[in-house]
Structure 1
Amino acid sequence: MGLILGSGSTKPQYPYDMWYGVQGDFTSKDYKLTRIGNMDLHRTLPIQKKLRRFVENTDGSVKYYLHQNDSRKKDSGAAAKLDTTDGNVMLEKPEYYARFEVEGTKWAMCISEYALPGFVRMTRKTCSPWYGTIDIANNIAVSGCWLQWVGNEIKRDANGFVSLLASATNFRGGSGASDAAKDGTYNSMLGMPRTSISKAGVRPLCKNGTHAGAGRVYTEIAWLQRIEYASMHCQDTYNETLTADGFHQGGLGNGTSVNGTQWNTWGGYRPFIPCGVTAILGNNTGRVAYTIKGWTGGDKVVQVASYRGLETPFEYLWLLADDILIHCSPETADDPGHCTAYGCTDPTKFASPADTSTAIPAGYERITELPTAEGYQWNFGFSYDGFTFPTSVGGGANQGLCDYFWRVAKATANGWYGALLSASAGNGAYAGFGFLNAINRSSYSYAYSGFRLCRF
């Protein structure tokens, strides 16, 4: 079947009208995309509106959905428990159908609620709406929020430090037990995401079918955002106002960007935003001002974004992706120095291979060759398994895909590497939904890398 777009028109010559999407051109570095398909669906966004937070049962089923406009409440309006007492707090990425096509230099990404001819089913997936942490008492990876509020303001003590639920003592993020001395201080790790942990370290803590393979669900949500805003520039200026045609515009901003040196002074690059700061937004897109105490030069206010329930979608912590591995080889007379992305869709087979192993881990399949050099991404390859990877560089902070690709130098490339997504708060314009860091081994862990609890 040919391209679903009508030549020279944004109205497809196609018998079905219940789909919407965006069109781009591989030869263009313009990050703005063209809306195609049913324009009314671009206004109502039926698939994006199905992204919603909920509290899950142990088996992953929905115990109750959270309120559209306030995650502190159940969908019914009754008070919800976000502290894992009722279960993990999760974000549902709905099932829908997608079609990606290329004709000449043009590409199109289209989505539908219906199984239209040529559209492929993208299954329901769930992930934690914010970064996960560890239940110390039970040694299990969880997703929760231990904040207290006074109205819509986070409750703080006389020093301005965040006041948490008493149970937060069992949920220490950062480096875990080694950060206990920070409890009750301006850079306390209680109620924060757990960092300084590798994929292999997280794996045995994921129980009852959960895992840390966030690459696919994160990428699918990224495409929903790109279609909604008709843009590849997720860090573009935040703008709540719709266009004259009723479409969303701009981006999610870069409100969590901080100076790396100051961040290191504050807490050695540890998390500075407690889990669940955007609970007051519910499933809506928006930003919440959060004050960090003890920052260099005095209190620092950051704007914490949430995209339809996905808190801190980028530019906060590096995101571990247990479903992605990268294999790189050095440049030789017989080898140009490849860098190949592999993906795995079976969480029971997630692995951290030995750095120089020559075997491809069971369950991981080759997706695409990555660019031969690092830089801002320009073009990409798309897999119906849900993966998207850069295939060329040459873009910029506001050109092409607008996000950066880091790869190991060809002179030193040697074996298996892990994948880090999103980028940290100190990476500035490099960060975004599409950022890919492939310079660290699969065993990587650091103070500013964390995980999202997933289930699919």
Structure 2
Amino acid sequence: MALTAAQEATLIQVADAFTRGKKINELSKTSGGIEGYTVEVQDHTGESKNVDLLQAINLVNKRIACRRWNETLSTPVGEAFGNIDFLRDLPSTLGLGCYLVTDDRVRRKLDPTNHYRFQDGSPAKLDGTDGQYMWCWNKHYYASWKEGNYLYEAVSTEPIEGKECYCIPEGGTAAIGGGVVDRTNLILCSIINETAQYRGGGNQTDWDGTYRTQLGKVATGITYRNYSTYARKRGEGWDANWYVAEAVPEYLFRIIFGTRHIQTAVNPEKDANGLYQGGLGAGVTNMPDWNGYNGYNPVVPCSAGVELGDGCGEATYNVMNADGTVRYAAKVPVFFGLKNLYGHIYRIVRGIIINAGASKTEGYVAPSLYASYNDASLDGMIKACELPRSEGYIKRVSMNKLAMLPTEVGGSASTYFADYFYTNAASSQGLRCRLAGSNAHAGTNAGSSCTNSHAAVTNASANVSAPLCYFKEDPVIN
């Protein structure tokens, strides 16, 4: 078969390229550094692509823990990328675990296997005597970026070159997954204390000594913005679940465990690289007839899960009926000592305002924890993203400005983020807050990324609390 003129021209070009080709040892030497050089790589489909050589070397050699997700796929499971050794060591590098923190924000590490003693072996009291029972992290940097079909999330102890990074100061959030209120002084706490002064729920005194007792449980039924007022009484750097403190365990779970589906069954085995895999289980999300039991008040005490220390997995707490039988064997998820990151009781997120307008819904963040913040106004707030107008399982979220707000729905209970987004923006407009994690009867809708945007900060609910949090420095977002 005779070739066309175009085909002959192509063959001539191929032959010319082959003739001009050189072996590696015949190539000229580079001068100066390797900035601006690219190399050929092959992705998992076999397609050749180019990558910036300097950035690739930096990502592999530097102390950067990174996971990436192919956004053309629905799987919630990502893949490790870059420095595997640093990713494996990330929990210890960041000092993840539980501490007792005094009001001047000085922390003291608890024994990772027994939180009733300090790391040096001396006794520790979690009742508030020795400080607040907090889950803490060291200062680090977080970045998220899109490259080709991949969405990357990374953490490092230094700024990540070429990426927009957020500096996360040393800080912590309540290890108990909610907030305890000192009823005498109206101060937000994170403690394990069963005295009447720290009664949880709606402070139901007549429930003491019954199966519905709220002694030793987190406080609920308080106007949302008041939690912040109570927290800030501790001094500078304290608040009630500032959005940066909410974001930290959310993105750290994804990076360390390599999945967006936190309700995946617990897998105690590491993968071939020695990395965590699986999830933290269903959580406290399947309470039967919760309303009939105690009107949607807390059912699990602050002490549940302490027995796991700084471990990861789930602990069982039996919720009892009036006749002494077990009503619900609640599974308390634990992430390096942090209890109930999702399920049981919703968490109010401070510093975020969701503006549900007539035609679009926008998410805003406050630039500073230390500066004044008016939750009834958008003045001085920074727009981070736009949210869906309809509810559904979350497909994508925005980490812009650490907002951690959904931007697209259309997933399922086992795909993408596998958590639910609740909104009534189409029928009800106004300024809203984010409620995170869901509650004790949410089932598969729950998860750390779960977002409910129905309520204003003037609301109060029996199934909503706010964990105490602190930062050593102002977590400024520009």
Q: Please say whether Structure 1 and Structure 2 have the same fold, judged by a TM-score greater than 0.5.
A: yes
The corresponding residue for 1:40 is 85
For residues 340-419 of structure 1, what are the structure 2 equivalents within 5 Å? Answer: 340-347=362-369, 348-353=371-376, 359-362=377-380, 364-383=381-400, 385-410=401-426, 412-419=427-434
Cα distance, 1:49 vs structure 2 = 5.5
Q: Deviations over 1:268-290 (max 9, x none)?
A: 11101111322222222122211
Shift in Å, 1:60 = 1.6
Equivalent positions of 1:149-188 (< 5 A) are: 164=194, 168-176=195-203, 179-188=204-213
Distance 2:64 2:350 in 1: 32
Measure, in 2, the Cα distance between the counterparts of 1:406 and 1:295.
Answer: 33
Q: Is contact 2:210-2:322 (8 Å) kept?
A: no
Aligned residues: percent identity? Answer: 24
CA distance in 2, matches of 1:292, 1:125: 32
Do the aligned partners of residues 223 and 6 (structure 1) sit closer, same or farther apart at CA in structure 2, a change above 3 Å counting?
A: farther
Equivalent residue number for residue 292 of structure 1: 319
One-letter amino acid matched to 1:86: D
* Separation in structure 2 between the aligned mates of residue 413 and residue 47 of structure 1, nearest angstrom: 45
Are 1:199 and 1:212, in contact at CA under 8 Å, matched by a contact in 2? no
Query: The residue matched to 2:146 in structure 1 has which SS?
Result: strand
- Measure how far apart 1:169 and its partner are: 1.9
1:339 aligned partner, one-letter code: T
Alpha-carbon offset, residue 6 of structure 1: 8.1
State the match for 1:124 in structure 2.
170
Contact 1:395 1:401 in 2 (8 A): yes
Check the 8 A contact 1:328/1:416 in 2, yes or no: yes
Alignment partners' CA distance in 1, 2:179 and 2:460: 15
For residues 426 and 48 of structure 1, do their structure 2 counterparts lie closer, same or farther at Cα, with a shift above 3 Å needed? farther
Q: For the Cα contact (< 8 Å) 1:93–1:221, is it kept in 2?
A: no
Which one is further off, 397-406 or 6-15? 6-15
My pick for the range that moved more, 415-424 or 239-248, is 239-248
Larger of the two Rg values belongs to structure = 2
Task: Supply the AA of the counterpart residue of 1:413.
Answer: S
User: Aligned runs of 1:21-36 on 2, under 5 Å?
Assistant: 21-36=66-81
Tell me the alpha carbon deviations over residues 22-69 of structure 1, each in whole angstroms, 9 at most, x when there is no partner. 11123321111011011222333345751121111222222x211111
Name the CA distance, whole Å, in 1 between partners of 2:344 and 2:39: 38
* 1:150 matched residue in structure 2: none
Structure 2 residue aligned with 1:248, among 276, 284, 292? 276
Letter in structure 1 aligned against 2:169: T
Equivalent-residue separation in structure 1 for 2:425 and 2:419 (angstroms): 19
Q: Which residue type is aligned with residue 315 of structure 2? A: V
Pick closer, same or farther for the CA change 1:113–1:271 going to 2, 3 Å: same
Is contact 2:87–2:256 with CA below 8 Å preserved after alignment? yes
The CA distance in 1 between the partners of 2:316 and 2:257, in whole Å, is 23
| Contact 2:94–2:139 (8 Å) recurs in 1 | no
In the aligned structure 2, how far is the partner of 1:48 from the partner of 1:288?
Answer: 25
5+ residue gaps, structure 2, are 1-34, 45-50, 472-478
Between the aligned partners of 2:230 and 2:283, the Cα distance in structure 1 is 31
Q: How does 1:188-199 map to 2 (within 5 A)?
A: 188-199=213-224
Is the 2:113–2:309 contact (alpha carbons within 8 Å) kept by the matching residues of 1? yes
Alignment partners' CA distance in 2, 1:50 and 1:295? 42
Which consecutive residues of structure 1, in runs of 5 or more, have no partner in the other structure? 147-163, 331-336, 354-358
Which amino acid counterpart does residue 44 of structure 1 have in structure 2? Answer: D
Deviation at residue 9 of structure 1 after TM alignment: 5.1
Give the Å deviation of 1:435: 0.7
Q: Secondary structure at the match of 1:211?
A: strand
Write the distance in 1 (CA, Å) between the matches of 2:307 and 2:175. 13
Classify 1:31/1:295 alpha carbon distance in 2 versus 1 (closer, same or farther; 3 Å). farther
The partner residue of 1:274 within 297, 301, 324 is 301
Aligned equivalents of 2:330, 2:249: Cα separation in 1: 23
State the TM-score, normalizing by the size of structure 1: 0.86
Alignment of 1:231-242 (within 5 A): 231-242=259-270
Is residue 2:247 matched to residue 1:202? no
Distance 1:57 1:291, change over 3 A: same
2:158 aligned partner, one-letter code: Y
Q: Please name the residue that 1:161 is paired with.
A: none
Q: Which aligned runs of 4 or more in structure 1 are off by greater than 6 angstroms?
A: none
Corresponding residue SS for 1:50: coil
**CA offsets 1:188-241 (integer angstroms, 9 cap, x no match):** 111110001122222332212321133221222111111111111000011111
Q: Out of 47-56 and 68-77, give the one that drifted further.
A: 47-56
Shift of 1:77: 1.1
Counterparts of 1:35 and 1:228 in 2: how far apart (Å)?
A: 9
Q: Is the 8 A contact 2:316 2:330 kept in 1?
A: yes
Q: Deviations over 1:237-288 (max 9, x none)?
A: 111112233222110011412245x211221111011113222222221222
Deviation digits for residues 163-193 of structure 1, max 9, x if unmatched?
x5xxx121101002xx000011111111110
The change in CA–CA distance for 1:390 and 1:255 in structure 2 (over 3 A counts) is: closer
For the aligned residues, what is the CA RMSD? 2.4
Secondary structure at the residue paired with 1:418? strand
What's 1:158 paired with?
none
Distance 1:288 1:303 in 2: 6
Aligned partners of 1:6, 1:432: CA distance in 2, in Å? 39
How far 1:352 sits from its partner (Å)?
A: 3.5
Listed as ranges, the matches of 1:43-122 within 5 Å are 43-46=88-91, 50-62=95-107, 64-118=108-162, 120=165, 121-122=167-168
Take 1:277 and 1:48, find their aligned partners in 2: how far apart are those partners? Answer: 27
CA contact (8 A) 1:51 1:93 kept: yes
Is the 8 Å Cα contact of residues 93 and 126 (structure 1) preserved in structure 2?
yes
Distance 1:214 1:254 in 2: 25
Report the count of equivalent residues.
417
Q: How big is each residue's C-alpha offset from its partner over 1:320-358, in whole Å with a ceiling of 9 and x where there is no partner?
A: 11211100112xxxxxx10001111433534341xxxxx
TM-score, length-normalised on structure 2? 0.82
